[in-house]
C-alpha cells in the first residue's frame, strides 16, 4: 500500500456503512473512489459475490486505488470518468441498476498536499486547480483573463465571499504588473485586498479559503456535474437502493438537499437522514479535514420517474 493510501482517512465511514445497509452480493458505485478508503470497506460488506464500480477523474488516484483494492479481484472495476457520466459508465459495465451509490465530494488528501496541483493556499505551487489534467483551463487562466467584474461575480457566486469586489479589484491591479501564476501570488492578492497578514492567526478561516474554493469550482465545473449526477441517480438505482452524498460546503449541500426534497415530494425517494449527519467530535479531532462534512442519504422507491 502506498504512503498516500495508508495515510488516507475516509470521512464519515461508519455513518456511510450504517446508512447504506449493504448486503452480500450487492452492486455498488463509488462515484469518487479517490484513494479507495470508502471502497475497501464497501467491498468487505458486499463480499466476493458483490460488485463495485469506482469512478474518478484523477489517474494517479485510480492507480493508487487499484493497488489498494487488488485483493478484491474481479469484484472491482475502476473507470476514469466524471460522475456526471454515471449512466454511460453503468451501461458500458453492463451493471444495470445498482443497490447503492456513494459520492464523496471532497478532494483527497494527496491532491490537497501536492503543491503541483495548486489546490492549497498553504503551499506555493502553480495556480492550476484541475482535478482532471486533461482540462485545458486552469485557475491561472481565469485569474488573468477574466475582467474585474467577471472575477468578482465568479468569487461571489461560488463562495459567497463578502469581499469579492475588493479581491477582484486587487487581482486586476496586481496582474497589470505581472501575471498571477502561483498560489502564493494569489494569496498575497487576497490578503492585500482584505488587509490581513497571510501569516497571522487572527482569523479562524484563512482569508484566501473562499477565493480558492470558487476558482476550483469554476475550473472543474463542479456544480454542473453534481446537478447531472443528481438527475441521473434515480435512473441508476434499483428500488430500495440508497444514495449517500458527502458534501463539504453550502453550495454542494444545498444542491443535494433541494434535489432530495423535490424527489421525495415526487415519490421517487424516501429521505433517510432527516438532517445531515456530521462527523463526531472524535473524528473531527482525528481528521481536521472532516470538520465541514455533511452526509445525506435517500432510498429509491419503486415509483417510476416522470
Asked if residue 176 is part of any domain, the answer here is yes
Q: How far is CA 9 from CA 35, 110, 122, 294, in A?
A: 9, 11, 20, 16
- Grid coordinates representing 95? 451493471
pTM of the entire predicted model: 0.93
User: Among candidates 71, 25, 27, which has minimal Cα distance to 53?
Assistant: 27
Residues 64-108: tens digit of each pLDDT: 999 999 999 999 999 999 999 999 999 999 889 999 999 999 888
User: Among candidates 109, 54, 119, 43, which has minimal Cα distance to 83?
Assistant: 54
Asked if residue 49 is part of any domain, the answer here is yes
- 3-state secondary structure (DSSP) of residue 40: helix
Half-sphere exposure of residue 292, counting CA atoms within 13 Å on the CB side?
12
Given 192, 220, 248, the domain boundary residue is 220
Asked if residue 305 is part of any domain, the answer here is no
The residue range of the domain holding 122 is: 115-220
pLDDT category of residue 1 using cuts at 50, 70 and 90 = very low
Residues 211 and 159 in one domain: yes
Residues 11-41: tens digit of each pLDDT: 999 999 999 999 999 999 999 999 999 999 9
Domain containing 128 — which CATH number? 1.10.150.170
Residues 161 and 281 in one domain: no
Asked if residue 306 is part of any domain, the answer here is no
Domain containing 84 — which CATH number? 3.40.50.150
Number of domains in the chain: 2
What is the rounded CA–CA span in Å between residue 158 and residue 155?
Answer: 6
Residues 248 and 201 in one domain: no
Residues 131 and 102 in one domain: no
Asked if residue 291 is part of any domain, the answer here is yes
Residues 58 and 80 in one domain: yes
Mean pLDDT for 244-262 is: 97
Asked if residue 255 is part of any domain, the answer here is yes
Strands of the chain, DSSP E: 27-30, 51-56, 76-80, 98-104, 237-247, 269-271, 294-300
Residue corresponding to grid cell 445497509: 21
Residues 71 and 137 in one domain: no
Amino acid at each position: 500500500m502506498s504512503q498516500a493510501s495508508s495515510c488516507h482517512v475516509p470521512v464519515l465511514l461508519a455513518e456511510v456503512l450504517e446508512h447504506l445497509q449493504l448486503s452480500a452480493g450487492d452492486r455498488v458505485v463509488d462515484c469518487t473512489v479517490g484513494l479507495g478508503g470508502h471502497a475497501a470497506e464497501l467491498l468487505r460488506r458486499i463480499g466476493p459475490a458483490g460488485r463495485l464500480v469506482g469512478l474518478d477523474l484523477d489517474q494517479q488516484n485510480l492507480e493508487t486505488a487499484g493497488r489498494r483494492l487488488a485483493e478484491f479481484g474481479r469484484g472491482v472495476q475502476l473507470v476514469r470518468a466524471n460522475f456526471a457520466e454515471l449512466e454511460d459508465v453503468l451501461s458500458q459495465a453492463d451493471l444495470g441498476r445498482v443497490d447503492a451509490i456513494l459520492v464523496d465530494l471532497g478532494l483527497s488528501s494527496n491532491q490537497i498536499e501536492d503543491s503541483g496541483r495548486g489546490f492549497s493556499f498553504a503551499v506555493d505551487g502553480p495556480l492550476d486547480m484541475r482535478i482532471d489534467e486533461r482540462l485545458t483551463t486552469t485557475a491561472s487562466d481565469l485569474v488573468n483573463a477574466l475582467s474585474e467584474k467577471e472575477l468578482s461575480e465568479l468569487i461571489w457566486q461560488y463562495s459567497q465571499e463578502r469581499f469579492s469586489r475588493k479581491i477582484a479589484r486587487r487581482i486586476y491591479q496586481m496582474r497589470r504588473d505581472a501575471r498571477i501564476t502561483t498560489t502564493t501570488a494569489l494569496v498575497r492578492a487576497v490578503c492585500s485586498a482584505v488587509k490581513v497578514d497571510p501569516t497571522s492567526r487572527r482569523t479562524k478561516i484563512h482569508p484566501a479559503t473562499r477565493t480558492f474554493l470558487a476558482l476550483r469550482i469554476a475550473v472543474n465545473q463542479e456544480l454542473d456535474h453534481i446537478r447531472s449526477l443528481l438527475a441521473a441517480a434515480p435512473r441508476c438505482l434499483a428500488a430500495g437502493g440508497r444514495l449517500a452524498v458527502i458534501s463539504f460546503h453550502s453550495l454542494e449541500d444545498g444542491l443535494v438537499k433541494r434535489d432530495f426534497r423535490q424527489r421525495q415530494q415526487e415519490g421517487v425517494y424516501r429521505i433517510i437522514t432527516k438532517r445531515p449527519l456530521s462527523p463526531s467530535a472524535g473524528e473531527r479531532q482525528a481528521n481536521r479535514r472532516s470538520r465541514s462534512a455533511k452526509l445525506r442519504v435517500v432510498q429509491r422507491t419503486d415509483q417510476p420517474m416522470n
